[in-house]
Amino acid sequence: MENPFTHEYFMKKALQEAEVAFEQGEIPVGAIIVVENRVIARTHNLTELLNDVTAHAEMQAITSAANFIGGKYLKGCTLYVTLEPCQMCAGALYWSQISKIVFGARDDQRGFMSMGTKLHPKTEVVSGVLAQEAADLMLRFFASKRK
Amino acid sequence: MENPFTHEYFMKKALQEAEVAFEQGEIPVGAIIVVENRVIARTHNLTELLNDVTAHAEMQAITSAANFIGGKYLKGCTLYVTLEPCQMCAGALYWSQISKIVFGARDDQRGFMSMGTKLHPKTEVVSGVLAQEAADLMLRFFASKRK
């Protein structure tokens, strides 16, 4: 039997969160955190609602997962996020020592890769999972804002 | 009459917050945010209490100040923080577009300067204000932990 728990499987859940953000007028980024194929955090960007630049999907996912685990380190966890994390979120992920980061679309302007933010040496990165879907959602969002 | 509202005046308040963190077993970092000589946020590191790597003093100061202002951008605001901000906090400060960052002690290992994190182009940085006091507090904390 094929393993149903693929990166695409979990990224679809992150995309569902991004859709919720979109509907609420937030820049549509969604994130989930998974440990042993179990989703322990499910969040989306809330910067507009909370009037808070720190309320990115990833930040809330880290806080939520740590709360679930009862400890602040996310070893053994995988973050799925629809957009490449920014400096702030990558910096938070550095502190969390998370095992894996899987992201969808690249963010060449503000993403941690072009900005040069350092992750924890033990953190593995996978990029480009359902990237087109995530990028399309962002484009659709900004197009709707320009109307 | 001399202006009483010097960088040292406000950094002393941030150091008081760091002392509170110390007493609570937190890595002793304190922060305040000031607008027109008025303190609008006063926070300290809470990563142990909250079991959350994102609970640095600066992150909470940003959230708290935005809440006070009722908007997410901190233009016209100055952050005073006892230790050089890390990548995460510098990344959050980038998004906040804060006008000025005044910090005490350098953090050559994990500070944003050596890590290469980018601030908003309009953000001014002042370093070394009561640096010795902030560094002494950190040294005293880690010495007490080794006992």
Q: Give the pairing type, strands B77-83 and B100-105.
A: parallel
Specify the pLDDT at position A145.
Answer: 87
Amino acid at B127: S
Q: What would the pLDDT profile of A37-83 be if each residue is shown by its tens digit?
A: 999 999 999 999 999 999 999 999 999 999 999 999 999 999 999 99
Query: In the structure encoding, which two tokens stand for residue A47, read together?
Result: 């910067």
Name the catalytic one among A17, A58, A84, A124: A58
A52 vs B63, B86, B88: nearest CB: B63
Give the whole-angstrom CA distance, residue A39 versus residue A101: 14
Name the catalytic one among B17, B26, B58, B84: B58
pTM for this model (two decimals)? 0.96
Residue ranges of the annotated binding site of A are 56, 86, 89
Using a CB-CB cut-off of 8 Å, the residues of chain A touching B119 are none
Query: Measured between CB atoms, does B71 come within 8 Å of chain A?
Result: yes
Residue A147 binned pLDDT confidence (cut-offs 50, 70, 90):
confident
- Whole-number percent of chain B with pLDDT over 90: 95
pLDDT at B146 over 90: no
A117 vs B70, B92, B117: nearest CB: B117
pLDDT at B139 over 90: yes
Q: Which of A40, A102, A36 is nearest to A69 (CA)?
A: A40
pLDDT at B36 over 90: yes
Query: In the structure encoding, which two tokens stand for residue A108, read together?
Result: 């060449």
- Which B positions 8-47 lie with beta carbon below 8 A of chain A? 47
Give the whole-angstrom CA distance, residue A98 versus residue A113: 17
Q: What would the pLDDT profile of A82-129 be if each residue is shown by its tens digit?
A: 999 999 999 999 999 999 999 999 999 999 999 999 999 999 999 999
Whether residue B91 and residue A59 make contact (CB cut-off 8 A), yes or no, is no
Whether residue B117 and residue A73 make contact (CB cut-off 8 A), yes or no, is no
Specify the pLDDT at position A146.
Answer: 85
pLDDT at A2 over 90: no
Q: What would the pLDDT profile of B78-133 be if each residue is shown by its tens digit?
A: 999 999 999 999 999 999 999 999 999 999 999 999 999 999 999 999 999 999 99
Q: Which of A50, A53, A46, A52 is nearest to A31 (CA)?
A: A46
Average pLDDT, chain A: 97
Specify the pLDDT at position B127.
Answer: 98
Task: Report the residue of B45, B87, B97, B120 to disrupt the A interface, i.e. the one with the largest count of A CBs within 10 Å.
Answer: B87
